[in-house]
Amino acid sequence: MVWQSLTVTTQNEAVDAVSNILMEAGAAGLQIADAADRKNYLPADQTVLLDWTSVDFPTEGAQVTGYFPDTVKLADLLPTIRQRVQTLANFGLDNQPATVELNTVTDTDWATEWEKYYHPVQVSRHLTVVPKWEHYQASRRDEVVITLDPGLAFGTGTHPTTKLMLQALEVVMRGGERVIDVGTGSGVLAIAASLMGAKHVLGTDLDAVAVRSAKGNVALNPQVGSIEIQVSDLLADVTEQANDLVVANMLAEVLLPLIPQVKSVLALGGWFLLSGIYYDKVATIKAALQAEGYQLVEQLQMDEWYGLIAQRQPAKQEG
């Protein structure tokens, strides 16, 4: 199928408004290349699956590209689109240079264009994450490969918050555990826990898109053991009790209501691994864990992100 693409060159603060204009004109998809994203992303993680050196990315300003099926009469719409982009300046938005350029692309260009930016990456001592379209042969004897479709859900394994939990799993797991991964996203931690020898893993997520993505990724790794993925708001719909390990990579605001819930699913002496904690929230999360009777065993850090390894206090010995 032949698609038409239309690229607006503008500034970061006009990206949302331009995106709306293109969607209203009938774009079936958008691609945003924003210099601000590059600046925000680079300090967070230099060893990423996404290879920035191969990305044709603006160093200043932003480009919003809309992809339109050839049924949309884009040439007729062009003057209106141009005029609407120009008028954004009247709303106080810096939209310059506000140029609008029309191109033709094929379906394959659009569908697979982003794939070339993702490559296999070693994300922890043992784990390598490989995008599903790459052919990859493990080269180290103890290397464990996870195949992932880095689609819409969070969790390619390369973000510091995910890496901290992959490392924490490697620290505490010995094999045979029953594990719950709260906020599973792409399912990367659930798959990793299974490959580290968990007897059973339950991954949950509030977001139906994440649940679909995690199920798809589990299917891409037939070497995993028993993994179940379900929708749940935190642990609301989880009935499995006395698990050996709960892992959760979520922002502190979401971890705080989770912390008091975990006792209902975690055995005495069980591990509680937490990530997604920005540096200014560490003290609050530690205090919440201590108030619930957890012992803090280890603190991990990568950039401004923290991970915690906590243990539910074993029952006190009599006598």
> Between 17 and 256, whose beta carbon lies closer to ligand SAM?
256
Regarding 214 and contact with ligand SAM (CB under 6 A), the answer is: no
String of DSSP letters for 240-253: --SEEEEEEE--HH
- 256-285 residues in contact with ligand SAM (CB under 6 A) are 276
Of 72-80, 90-98, 111-119, 184-192, the window that binds ligand SAM (rule: CB under 6 A) is: 184-192
| Sign of the torsion formed by the C-alpha atoms of 38, 163, 158 and 119 | positive
Distance (Å, whole) CA 131 – CA 66:
25
Token readout for 35 is 């210099």
Burial of 266 (0-12, 13-18, 19+ CB in 10 A): buried
Regarding 150 and contact with ligand SAM (CB under 6 A), the answer is: no
C-alpha count within 13 angstroms, C-beta hemisphere, residue 124: 25
Burial of 78 (0-12, 13-18, 19+ CB in 10 A): middle
Q: ∠ CA 273-276-281 to the nearest 5 degrees?
A: 100
Radius of gyration, alpha carbons of the chain = 23
Total residues binding ligand SAM (CB under 6 A): 23
For the bound state, the minimum distance from the C-beta of residue 2 to ligand SAM, rounded and expressed in Å, comes to: 35
Of 53-61, 90-98, 177-185, 193-201, the window that binds ligand SAM (rule: CB under 6 A) is: 177-185
> Between 9 and 161, whose beta carbon lies closer to ligand SAM?
161
Regarding 164 and contact with ligand SAM (CB under 6 A), the answer is: no
Choice from 155, 160, 270, 307 touching ligand SAM (CB under 6 A): 155
Regarding 30 and contact with ligand SAM (CB under 6 A), the answer is: no
Instruction: Compute φ and ψ for 194, nearest 5 degrees.
Output: -65, -45
Choice from 27, 249, 262, 308 touching ligand SAM (CB under 6 A): 249
Q: Cite the annotated binding site by residue number.
A: 162, 183, 205, 249
Q: Cite the annotated binding site for S-adenosyl-L-methionine by residue number.
A: 162, 183, 205, 249
Chain residues binding ligand SAM by CB under 6 A are 153-155, 161-162, 165, 182-185, 188-189, 204-207, 210, 233-234, 249-250, 254, 276
